[in-house]
A and B are shown apart, each in its own frame.
Chain A
Amino acid sequence: MTPLANCLLLSALLFSIGLAGALMRRNAILVLIGIELMLNAANLNFIAFWRYGPNPEALTGLMFVIFSIGVAAAEAAVGLALIIAIYRHTKTTNIDQVNSMRG
């Protein structure tokens, strides 16, 4: 196993765990945590390909991860605000019970 393959396998495992959490858990906050784990797996892929790629001095993968972290922070803030707004209306964070479109 080369180091690149180790990184990619770790990333695939992390993505699968995050996907399992996002699909299987009932709590909306845990779904958001699963999405964050999937974003981190993508970041790890960028770093691994930047490190073991043919042209690491261009710093492209590194820059993409920096911007990806920024976008993920914005996504987490808006997502948690949405969860709080939904909780205020329906008094639950169980996504199986949030099945009505009336406010």
Chain B
Amino acid sequence: MLFKIFAVLTVAGAVAAMSFRNLVHAVLALIVSFAGLAAVYLLLGAQFIGLAQILVYVGAVAILIVFAILLTRDSGITSQSTTSSSWRGSIVVVLGVFGVLAWSVGHSAVYQQATSLPQGTSMQEIGNVLMQRFALPLEVIGVLLTVALIGAVTIAIYEKKETR
């Protein structure tokens, strides 16, 4: 029952984020969608992922998108349509993708009842695995985040006329 409530919240937030004309309203709807998804993660027993979802998406990514909207504010409110010129083909593609996904979910043999949650999914267990078996990917993701941060600043920094 709780899962259905949060699932409806997530889908409604996503639909609103993709259909609002006002960009700031769209980001607020996106935050609702991300928070609903974090609640779904918590219901599924993944506490760490749910909290990381709230920290990273609701906290960081949403604020980043709001800053990008403020920095790229168009001068006037555009009266033209907000949909792309190729929206008819897009609808066909989207309906096809969803149809294939839903059909394969409905006809697959992976249905099984929920197994009991193992006892060892605490934060301590995750930390142990992260430091032992997944130590190298953790270092690589650290390097990737550093490179992405430097690259983002380099791309977005104001370039003077004489340096071009």
Instruction: Indicate with 1 or 0, residue by residue over A1-41, a CB within 8 angstroms of chain B CB atoms.
Output: 01111111110111111111101111101101110110010
Q: Is the interface of B mostly helix, strand, loop or mixed?
A: helix
Q: For A59, what are the chain B residues with a Cβ–Cβ distance below 8 Å?
A: 121, 125-126, 129
CA distance A36 to B17 in the complex (A): 11
Main secondary structure of the interface of A (DSSP, over half): helix
> CB within 8 Å of B: which residues of A?
2-10, 12-21, 23-27, 29-30, 32-34, 36-37, 40, 43-44, 47-48, 50-52, 54, 56-57, 59, 62-63, 65-67, 69-78, 80-85, 87-88, 92-96
B134 and A10 contacting across the interface, CB-CB below 8 Å: no
User: What band does the interface of chain B fall in when counting residues whose beta carbon is under 8 Å from A?
Assistant: 35 or more
How distant is A15 from chain B, measured CB to nearest CB, in Å?
A: 7
> With A63-B134, A70-B144 in contact, do A77 and B149 touch (Cβ < 8 Å)?
yes
Closest to B3 in A: A6
Roughly how many angstroms separate A36 CA and B60 CA in the complex, as a whole number?
A: 13
Q: How far is the CA of A29 from the CA of B69 in the complex (A)?
A: 7
Chain B 111-164 interface residues, beta-carbon cutoff 8 Å to A: 111-115, 117-118, 120-121, 125-126, 129-130, 134, 137, 141, 144-145, 147-149, 151-153, 155-156, 158
**Cβ distance A64 to chain B, nearest Cβ, rounded Å:** 9
B residues with a Cβ closer than 8 A to A are 3, 7, 10-11, 14-15, 17-18, 23, 26-27, 30, 33-34, 37, 40-41, 44-46, 48-49, 52-53, 56-57, 60-61, 64-65, 67-69, 71-72, 74, 78, 81-87, 90-91, 93-95, 97-98, 101-102, 105-106, 110-115, 117-118, 120-121, 125-126, 129-130, 134, 137, 141, 144-145, 147-149, 151-153, 155-156, 158
